[in-house]
Amino acid sequence: MNWSMPRPVLQLVATGIVVASLGAFALGVATAPSRGRLPGERPGAQTGEVLEAVEAQPLVDERIQGAAVQEELTEEEKAALEAEKKAKAEAAALAKAEAEKGAPAGPEAVTAAPADKIGEVIQQQTAAPPPPAPKVEEPVF
């Protein structure tokens, strides 16, 4: 049993499909509007004038979160801030005195970091004999 059509009939059907698709494309191009429009805009309507927003204000944190509240510090907090300022001033004076003596200040004044030993580890791994090859077992099937 032959379920196919003869070749001339297949060529005629294919030609009809091609003609229909080209015609649909040509009609789509011919009937397309010359200019796109925004949603809600009427076809052929004149565009309005540009609006100027005179009262516009930028969004800043104060407008979003409200004005910052100035909190008064308690006597304990004031004393802690003064002590912190004195400690910073003393540390700066000590660092200046050390710098005048010629001693390094800052991170160099701390003991040097231990030397990196990655090179030794790599040499030990390359000097060691390679591990033995794993045993290959016969597959069960």
DSSP string for 12-49: HHHHHHHHHHHHHHHHHHHHS-SS---TTPPTTPPPPP
Distance CA 83, CA 80 (A): 5
Token pair recorded at residue 125? 């791994």
Distance CA 112, CA 117 (A): 15
Whether residue 1 is predicted with pLDDT greater than 50 in this model: the reply is: no
Name which residue leads in pLDDT, 139 or 114. Answer: 139
Residue 135: predicted pLDDT: 75
Residue 30: predicted pLDDT: 93
- Find all residues with CB under 8 Å of 103, minimum gap 6, and list them: 109
What percent of the chain is modeled with pLDDT above 70?
A: 74
Highest mean pLDDT among 11-15, 36-40, 60-64, 137-141: 11-15
Residue 86: predicted pLDDT: 94
pTM of the model: 0.27
pLDDT tens digits for range 90-131: 999 988 888 888 755 555 555 555 666 777 777 777 776 667
Mean pLDDT of 29-35: 85
